[in-house]
Amino acid sequence: MKRPILSAAIVMLSAFAQVASADEPIQPIKPPASINLGMAELGKKLYFDPRLSKSGFISCNSCHNLSMGGTDNIPTSIGDKWQQGPINAPTVLNSSLNVAQFWDGRAADLKAQAGGPIANPGEMAFSHTLALHVLESIPAYVREFNLVFGKSKITIDEVTQAIAEFEKTLVTPNSRFDQWLLGNKDALAKNEVEGYALFKDSGCVACHNGEAVGGNSFQKMGLVEPYKTTAAAQGRADVTGQDADRFNFKVPTLRNVEMTYPYFHDGAANTLTEAVDIMGRLQLGKKFTKEENAKIVAFLKTLTGDQPSFTLPILPPSTDATPRPTPFVK
């Protein structure tokens, strides 16, 4: 049974947010409305458990580190046997607000996404069957799955559902910009307000809008000028596989963007200043001055909200029957 945490205070906040931001293309982030707490707690353990990987070393948190803005702060992630992935790891923070998951949108929701990395040979490099074998060999996991789902047999459907439920809690409300939207005009400095005005007037909000300031549409990278990606990202630079659709990606969220460097699908932009310059030229046909760029960057930094705060899970111990990992070597 779900245990709703929606309170009268949250209802009032949501109503006020809708009124306060009615004329703005960006809306304040709302706290999660209804979470199954038992399922989320189980999902938190699974999110941090490296035993769901072949090496016993990689967990969801490896590439989506919750101490680092929900990403790993490197151009492309490192997977099994030190393989370098082909694309930048998007942040998991506020990912529940995305229209779909992954850069190419191939997963419809968080649950569909959660199973992908476990079986991907370039990431966690396990199989769903082996992952379930590991979980079923750990009595504490068996008991917790039974408690949450009312079933003695663990399935991958339940594993991914639990991870997704935990990820729904990873929202970041109460940024300074949200406070400003909600009526606290002292929350932003003059240059930050001017940066937001530039952000709107220049057309950035055509793609970066809504609660997540992105994540709700797919767009081509390089509308005005062509984008030259790194060689590593060439193989994942399209959604459909058709050449005409190359460089079409889900628009990334700009929430907490100061923490989620480097930027773009290939991690080619190391700083916000560089990213704003490239996006202005390639997407808008606009060359921002140094002062304009600095104001937009100042605004973007106001989008950092309250980071998820929780106690790290204590993972249940393995048993003699638990399959031992295969440590990877370089």
What is the chain's pLDDT, residue by residue, as a tens digit (330 residues)? Answer: 333 433 444 444 454 445 555 689 999 999 988 999 999 999 999 999 999 999 999 999 999 999 999 999 999 999 999 999 999 999 999 999 999 999 999 999 999 999 999 999 999 999 999 999 999 999 999 999 999 999 878 999 999 999 999 999 999 999 999 999 999 999 999 999 999 999 999 999 999 999 999 999 999 999 999 998 654 444 444 545 555 567 889 999 999 999 999 999 999 999 999 999 999 999 999 999 999 999 999 999 999 999 998 899 999 999 887 877 776 555
**Assigned token pair, 134:** 């590991």
| Annotated catalytic residue 123 | yes
Which of 285, 281, 263 is closest to 272 using CA atoms?
A: 263
Do 32-168 and 176-303 agree at the fold level? yes
Which position among 123, 165, 194, 211 bears the catalytic label?
A: 123
**So what's the pLDDT on residue 1?**
38
Q: Which 8-state DSSP code applies to residue 282?
A: I
**So what's the pLDDT on residue 152?**
77
The H or E element spanning position 218 is strand 218-220
**So what's the pLDDT on residue 50?**
96
Burial of 19 (0-12, 13-18, 19+ CB in 10 A): exposed
Backbone φ and ψ for 34, nearest 5 degrees, come out as: -150, 115
Which of 310, 306, 311 is closest to 30 using CA atoms?
A: 306
**Assigned token pair, 113:** 């996404």
Burial of 162 (0-12, 13-18, 19+ CB in 10 A): buried
Maximum Cα–Cα distance across the chain: 63
**So what's the pLDDT on residue 245?**
61
**So what's the pLDDT on residue 21?**
55
- Specify the CATH number of the domain 176-303: 1.10.760.10
| Domain ranges for the chain | 32-168, 176-303
- Specify the CATH number of the domain 32-168: 1.10.760.10
**So what's the pLDDT on residue 328?**
59
**So what's the pLDDT on residue 6?**
39
Q: Which residue type, as a one-letter code, is found at position 88?
A: N
